[in-house]
Amino acid sequence: MNNKSNSLNRRSFLHGTGLALALPWFETFASARPEVDQTPKRFVSVYHPDGVGLPLKSDPAWKDWSWFPRGGEKDFELTKVLDVLEPLRSDITIYSGLSHPASRQVHGHSNADQYLTGAATGGHGPYKNSISLDQVYAEHAGDLTRHASLVMSTNGGVGGPRGAQTQSFNREGRPIPAMNKPKQIFDMLFVTSSKDAAARLARSKSALDLLIENTKSLGRQLSGHDQETLKQYLDAVRDTEVKLAKAQRWIDTPIPEVDTRNLHLDAEPKEARLYFQTMYELIYLSFLSDSTRVATFQLGRENGEGPHDLLSQAVGLGGAHGLTHDVKSPNGWQNLGTYNRYQAEEFGRFAQRLKDTPEPTGKGNMLDNTLAMHGSASSSFHLSRNYPIITAGGANFGFTNGRYLKFGKGNEDNQAGAGIVTDAGWQGKVDVEELPLAKLFVTILQRLGVETDSFAGDTGTLSGI
Amino acid sequence: MKILTFNILLVFICFDTILAADEHTAITLQQAKEVGRAKSRFLKAADVETKAIDAIPTANVAYHAESVAAILNKSCLACHGPEHSEGRLRVDELNPDLLTGPDVERWREVYNVLSNSVMPPEDESDYALADTDRGNIVDWLSDELNKASLVRRNTKEHSSFRRLTKYEYNYALQDLLGLPYALANRLPPETASEDGFKNSSDLLQMSAMQFETYREIGLQALKRATVSGERPESVTYIISTQEEMEKLTGKDPAKTFDTNDDSNSKQRNQQHLFNRETSQGIQFSGGKAKPQPDAVVGQTPAVSPVVLVLPRNKELKLDLDRFLPDEGIMRVRIRAGRSTMNPDEYASLRLIFSAHTSNNANFSQTISERDIPVTASSDNPEFIHFDIPLSDIQRNPFRKLTTTFPRRDEFLHIRNVSNAGAGEERLNVLIDYIEISAPFYEQWPPKTHTDIFFASNNKGDEEVYGREVLNRFLRRVWRRPVTADEVDQFMGLFAKYRPEFSTFEDAMLEVLATALATPEFLYLTQRTTTEATEGPARISDVEFASRLSVFLWSSIPDDELLQLAEQGTLRNPEVLVAQVERMLADPRSKRFPQNFVQQWLGMDGLDSVTHITDESLKEAMQQEPVAFFDEVLRHNHSIMDFIHSDYAVVNERLAAHYGIRNVYGPQFRKVSIEPQTNRGGLLTGAAVLAMNSDGKDSHPLKRGVWMLERIIHDPPPPPPPNVPEVDLTDPEILKMTLKERIADHRNKAACVSCHSRIDPWGIAFENYDAMGKHRTHINNKPVDATSELFNKQTLAGMDGLKRYLLTDRQDQFARAMVHKMTAYALGRPLAFGDRADIDSLTGQFFRNGDGLGDLVHLIINSDIFNSK
């Protein structure tokens, strides 16, 4: 059968998508800037809450179910948790000894908010976040594609302060709502009624002008406090204006046709395997079609709740969050490890797919031009240290893979905080030294082409990457 | 005044002493309500009510110096002083000025533990607090806290200015346009506040993506509400049982059977066609239906002797092929009757839609919003109908293929959902005529269209008519009168759009869609006023109308409400009472129990539960607290019925779960229950018990936390550091019962302070398992559900818990109820500064007799609800 996207389109989904429509491979645009290398540099971050399993060496489970590899930089040995990545060994780098200093004393449940931002989001009191790594890059590369970034999570929306359901935060530190329905993401990326898009765009501009005027006049009749609330609305309208200006440039290019064979657009988080694969495939297709070069994907939310807790059903386990608590139950470490292994497996499948696809511009494969990061903001049991991080790809912009990189001092065997099975873990005293994760972020940004030497207040790069 | 309150406290203490004896079990729960009510602080102390204050209140620091400080030092300093400062509290360092000092929140904690007799611990006899001393401090604190609250109320800014929630926006759009469909599913979900409320002003964010979604939804909804051009041709299928029988018997006469012959009972119990004149039957379960080009819809043919017999749980599956349109309403009209009229049995029809999308796969979904009961007798069958929006249901994505594989056809199933017994005289549904038509229009153009583009003499003049349309539309959208300037602004936009569209309507729809994205539609506004007022400024009449309708209807005001507000008469007492009554009698008021209860009790929790596999049970569980609240609201029962009632509100499925006999049918109704049913009130609802379980067994901690947060509004502090996890690999621990395990955990020094506040509440629920079923044994051991509260009060299981709440905690529960409902009504979290209002409201409420319906009126008439 004809499996192209357009044969699946349903009129009811077409209405109104015109606003943001515009297209990749904008030749005239690209040729207008001949100095720009047309090979895209891409960045994707996948976040999983709740951390990983770190049993003590003395525990029989240590050998197989400790997340971090054993051994040195090149001769490292993957445990059962990550052995699914063995085929990609030469394309990945595993890090230990990195964390965000501002949150080291914060309970892991609050930490999804700051994984990509490094902000002192804290555990109580007033809340303020800052721009996330992906959005810094999106500010730089977002204009080159139809969508500045693709923000996804299993739970969708923004969540709440210290309970983020999105990994992406804008310049003002405001959360960017994540999309969680494959169908909706697909439609945003690949379905369009572009014929009247230009006219629509012009009409939108007039409508936004009116709305801004209308909002201002309402604002004058509100209290100072309420004006602050209304400002958020006004910002939303202005952000939309910016989007319109951008869409204008892409308006005449045809929509890319993509192969939809691996998509199950009705998949829901409870069908975790199908859902994960579809979400990853959507990132893959958006990259392949150069619809965007930046993506984030959050698998669940910290501290369970909602669809997230259903994800571990993919490996026959109940309650994803509970797995971190139940490590002392029979097979506890194995169960948590099995769930983490499954996350690594899906990430590996995605990386492999990029690797198997030649770069459309001819320069290597897609993985070489993509830095795919996978990690969590806690290691052992809510401990906000020693983030378990893997990156894959990026060979064409400076990443030398096939390595296990240990940073900091005093925790070469990852035993600091290991074996913790109490909620106190996050407050426990840890005497080892770790380096700021922001240094890795600076390295990443520089290699992606962003001129910066600091992130979240920390200056400098990570040496030896 | 000091002396008066003091006496009341003595009365209070006397009651306590009496009850401390064994009388607890001697009285019924109903009597416990009377006893507890008599104790109420609110009932006795008329002066608790906050009066308008003339002067700025000042702190009574002197009384602290001369009396309070010494008593606190004597009874509290040992643990909350320089030596030990448990809970990081030092009573010797608290600033005694509650009005300007920084320690108001700490004082509130002190007030709570002293007034609930939680502190000092009873086993610390050296530090016992004499009743008179306790009374004096509580009295002083109560005064100071109230004054502080008043001061804050007049200084700190609160705001109910907020965006509509996703569900409110959906209802608003539905009511505005007359579209009964879910329109806002694409919006991101809302985050609940600490109180569990999703309409809390400080959490309702707005983003560019959301804004765009609003614009898209608005335009889409307008396009759905309006039409253009000629009435479209409908696809119509007519199934006449008479004709089907003729076809079948003509094809294969040998397949008929005599329905009177008992040897054919097997065939009789399947769906079949039946000729009532000849008693002849033939199997019939559906088949291919063909559209009939010249069919006339809405006919009422003579009742046929041939009927389709649908026994319980059987269905007719019609293959509609691939001819249904993509959009529009599919109306399914079915003439049906019951074969028997036993009132304990019911039968209803449900529509299911399906397709076979590959050799081994198909999908099917229920497309009817609710089952429609069949009530007529089969001799006088009546039509029932379903309206299904075709664009909103899962369609067969392959129906447009030019090839025949995968299959392109779509199936409509008509199913009999019933509780019919298996006796001699079976209840079946008998159907003799089915009509399926899409797109279906009641009238042309439809009312949703003429509500926007109404008849007018000025229709020929786009300038004039455009203004008329806009004026009417904007007034509804903004819930206020509209100025000519404002209409001008939108006419300006119309002028820009008009050349791009072939019709006036198409251009105007785009303009109206813009109106649906204005902040005054998406937000609940409250304008500042220039007129000087005393105390907090009142919201205007039209703003009040919106606040009122969002409270009771979760939606915008209707025309009547708006008109009264514009005339300035809405808040005349007799008008307002009548309007509130009218609103509560309107079907839209169903949304109030639905949304309030859902959020108040945290019913979302049931969605993530996977151990209830029976969907009808889960649905019944979910509906029960809403139906119960509805019953209490509509009959103005006492809110103490939430703690315990001698009735339950159940349907057949839930009654079976609870072991309540003689409840038939899917609808919820009030039934009297005996004590041995072990139900009554909200605490023993299966949903609450099941969602606060771990999927296999009860979860006392979750239940305790739920109880504290949701029912008595005394949320426990977050877990402290250094809490060891229960080590389930320890064989000694594995041997213990759950209660023993909890006790073991609690006995650890780090855990005791919190858990002794939480666990006892949850352990009292132990007679209920993870499905919410009552039990007397766990693993052959008798259930031990007795527990002791922090204040040494013993709770003998659920009965003891209810008894204790009813005799000793009515004030706390009533205040919690007032607090929760007011927070919901205002759409903002209540702060310390609202305390005086809540106290005053609770006082009035209690004195009026604590009926839930009265509470709604009381809140609507309160200062706080009428203020910015």
Is residue B858 in some structural domain? no
A29 part of a folded domain? no
Query: At A9, is the pLDDT very low, low, confident or very high (cuts 50, 70, 90)?
Result: very low
Interface check for A220 against chain B (CB to CB < 8 A): the answer is: no
Residues B523, A239: C-beta atoms closer than 8 Å: no
Q: Pick A233's closest partner by Cβ from B189, B513, B519.
A: B519
ipTM exceeding 0.90, yes/no: no
Nearest chain B alpha carbon to A164: B191
pLDDT, residue A424, reads 64
Cβ density class A92-116: b for 16+ within 10 Å, e for less: bbbbbbbbbbbbeebbbbbbbbbbb
- The answer to whether the CB atoms of A11 and B327 lie below 8 A apart is yes
Inter-chain CB proximity A211 and B209 less than 8 Å: no
Residue B748 has what pLDDT?
56
- Does A31 fall in a domain? no
Q: Are residues B19 and B108 in the same domain?
A: yes
Mean predicted confidence (pLDDT) in A285-292: 94
Hey, are the CB atoms on B207 and A199 less than 8 Å from each other? Answer: no
What percent of chain A has pLDDT above 90? 54
Domain assignment present for B197? yes
The confidence band for B405, taking pLDDT boundaries of 50, 70 and 90, is low
pLDDT (tens digit per residue) in B66-115: 999 999 988 898 889 888 888 788 888 899 998 888 888 888 888 878 87
pLDDT in tens, A75-93: 999 999 999 999 999 999 9
A63 band by pLDDT with thresholds 50, 70 and 90: very high
User: In terms of residue numbers, what domain contains A121?
Assistant: 37-191+255-459
pLDDT of residue A8: 31
Helix (H), strand (E) at residue B349: strand B347-358
Give the model's pLDDT for residue B4: 37
A138 lies in some domain: yes
**Pairing mode, if any, of strands A389-393 and A42-47?**
unpaired
A208 lies in the same domain as A333: no
From A297's Cα to the closest Cα of chain B, the distance in A is 16
B47, B196: one domain = no
Q: Is residue B868 part of a domain?
A: no
Asked if residue B478 is part of any domain, the answer here is yes
Residues B39 and B120 in one domain: yes
A260 shares a domain with A135: yes
Residue A102 lies inside a defined structural domain of this protein: yes
> Is residue B675 a contact partner of residue B634, using CB atoms and an 8 Å limit?
no
**Any B CB within 8 A of A246 CB:** no
Q: Look over chain A and give the mean of its residue pLDDT values, rounded to a whole number.
A: 85
Residue B20: how many other CB atoms lie within 10 Å: 11
The confidence score (pLDDT) of residue B407 equals 77
**Looking at B438, B469, B504, which one is the last position of a domain?**
B438
Which whole number is the average pLDDT over B776-787?
A: 91
Looking at per-residue confidence, does A38 or A41 come out higher?
A41
What is the structure's pLDDT at B129? 84
Interface probe with A: pick from B161, B391, B402, most Cβ of A within 10 Å? B161
A428 pLDDT band (50/70/90 cuts)? low
Write out the H or E segment, with its range, that includes residue B307: strand B306-310
Last residue of a domain, one of B386, B412, B438: B438
**Own/partner long-range contacts of B191-194 (Cβ < 8 Å, ≥24 apart):** B191/A157, B191/A158, B191/A159, B191/A160, B191/A163, B192/B599, B192/B602, B192/B604, B193/B829, B194/B715, B194/B829
The C-alpha of A91 sits at a distance from chain B's nearest C-alpha, in angstroms, of 35
A198 close to B (CB below 8 A): no
Q: Are B199 and B280 part of one and the same domain?
A: no
Q: Is the pLDDT of residue B25 over 60?
A: no
Instruction: Check whether B117 has a pLDDT greater than 70.
Output: yes
pLDDT band for position B528 (cuts 50, 70, 90): confident
For residue A151, give the chain B residue with the closest CA. B209
Which range, of B269-273, B455-459, B788-792, B805-809, averages the lowest pLDDT? B788-792
**Per-residue pLDDT tens over the stretch B688-698:** 999 999 888 99
Chain A residues inside the 8 Å CB shell of B201? 229
Same domain, yes or no, for A201 and A272?
no
Q: Which residue has the higher pLDDT, B730 or B454?
A: B454
Which residue among A174, A310, A328 places its CB closest to the CB of B729? A328
Answer yes or no: do A287 and A377 share one domain: yes
Contact B868 A223 (CB under 8 A): yes
Name residues 316-375 of chain A within 8 A of B (Cβ).
Answer: 318-319, 325-326, 328-330, 332
Please, which pLDDT band fits residue B445 given cuts at 50, 70 and 90? very high
Among A253, A274, A289, the domain boundary falls at A253
Our count of domains for chain A comes to 2
Residue A92 counted as domain residue: yes
CATH code for the domain of A442? 3.40.720.10
Whether B632 and B683 map to the same domain: the answer is: yes
- Do A131 and A153 fall into the same domain? yes
Residues A14 and A74 in one domain: no
* C-alpha closest to that of B337 among B297, B372, B376: B376
User: pLDDT category, B568, cuts 50, 70, 90?
Assistant: very high
Q: How much is the pTM?
A: 0.70
Tell me which residue of B719, B611, B40 sits closest to A109, measured CA to CA.
Answer: B719
Q: How many domains does chain B have?
A: 4
Assigned domain for B856 exists: no
Tokens 């010494």 sit on residue: B70
Answer yes or no: do A19 and A99 share one domain.
Answer: no
Whether residues A296 and A430 fall in one domain? yes
Domain check: are B423 and B377 in the same one?
Answer: yes
Chain B contact for A173 (CB, 8 A cutoff)? no
Instruction: Indicate if B616 and B675 belong to the same structural domain.
Output: yes
Q: pLDDT band at residue A206, thresholds of 50, 70 and 90?
A: very high
> Which region among A245-254, A410-419, B470-479 has the lowest average model confidence (pLDDT)?
A245-254
Which has more pLDDT, B445 or A25?
B445
Which of A246-250, B45-49, B656-660 has the weakest average pLDDT? B45-49
- Does the pLDDT at position A429 exceed 80? no
Residue A392 in domain:
yes
Percent of chain B's residues with pLDDT above 90: 62
* Arithmetic mean of pLDDT over chain B: 88
Over the stretch B273-332, which tens digit does the pLDDT of each residue have? 999 999 999 999 888 999 999 888 898 999 999 999 999 999 999 999 999 999 999 999
B495 and B478 in a single domain? The answer is: yes
- Which chain A residue has its CA at the smallest distance from B202's CA? A229
Contact B212 A203 (CB under 8 A): no
Q: What are phi and psi of B516, to 5 degrees?
A: -75, -10
Indicate whether B285 and B361 sit together in one domain: yes
Q: Is residue B722 part of a domain?
A: no
Measured between CA atoms, how close is A227 to chain B, in angstroms? 9
Identify the residue with better confidence: B627 or B52: B627
Using the beta-carbon criterion (under 8 Å), do B205 and A158 form an inter-chain contact? Answer: yes
Question: Cβ B497–A203 below 8 Å, yes or no?
Answer: yes
A260 against B852, higher pLDDT: B852
Beta-carbon separation of B215 and A19 below 8 A: yes
B419 SS3 class: coil
Domain membership of residue B567 (yes or no) is no
| CATH assignment of the domain containing B415 | 2.60.120
Are A46 and A99 contained in the same domain? Answer: yes
Contact list, B502 vs chain A (CB under 8 Å): none
Range ranked top by mean pLDDT from A267-271, B397-401, B436-440: B436-440
Final residue of a domain: which of B671, B689, B707? B689
- Please state whether beta strands A98-99 and B411-418 pair in parallel, antiparallel, or not at all (unpaired): unpaired
Do both A433 and A345 map to the same domain? yes
A131 in the same domain as A64: yes
- In terms of domains, do B270 and B388 share one? yes
Q: Answer yes or no: is A411 within a domain.
A: yes
> Which band of pLDDT confidence, cut at 50, 70 and 90, is reported for residue B674?
very high
Confidence of residue B54 (pLDDT cuts 50, 70, 90): very low
A30 located within any domain: no
A433 in contact with B, Cβ within 8 Å:
no
Contact A12 B191 (CB under 8 A): no
More confident residue, A354 or B107: A354
Average pLDDT over residues B688-710: 93
**Lowest-pLDDT range of A122-131, A258-267, B319-328, B850-859:** A122-131
Q: Are residues B148 and B38 in the same domain?
A: yes
Whether residue A203 and residue B610 make contact (CB cut-off 8 A), yes or no, is no
- With respect to residue B530, please indicate whether it lies within any of the assigned structural domains: no
Question: Helix/strand/coil (H, E, C) string of chain A?
Answer: CCCEHHHHCCHHHHCCHHHHCCCCCCHHHHHHCCCCCCCCCEEEEEECCCCECCCCCCCCCHHHHCCCCECCCCCCECCCCCHHHHHHHHHEEEEECEECHHHCCCCHHHHHHHCCCCCCCCCCCCCCCCCCHHHHHHHHHHHHCCCCCEEEECCCECEECCEECCCCECCCCCECCEECCHHHHHHHHHCCCHHHHHHHHHHHHHHHHHHHHHHHHHHCCCCHHHHHHHHHHHHHHHHHHHHHHHHHHHCCCCCCCCECCCCCCCCCCCCHHHHHHHHHHHHHHHHHCCCCCEEEEECCCCCCCHHHHHHHHHHCCCCHHHHHHHHHCCCHHHHHHHHHHHHHHHHHHHHHHHHHCECCCCCCECHHHEEEEEECCCCECCCCCCCCEEEEECHHHCCCCCEEEECCECCCCCCCCCCCCCHHHHHCCCCCECEEHHHHHHHHHHHHCCCCCEECCEECCCCCC
Query: In terms of domains, do B112 and B6 share one?
Result: yes
From B218's Cα to the closest Cα of chain A, the distance in A is 10
- Mean pLDDT, residues B775-804 taken together: 91
Q: Is the pLDDT of residue A297 over 70?
A: yes
Domain span at residue B606?
592-689
- Residues A280 and A344 occupy one common structural domain: yes
Report the pLDDT value the prediction gives residue B564, as an integer from 0 to 100.
98
CA distance A312 to A308: 8
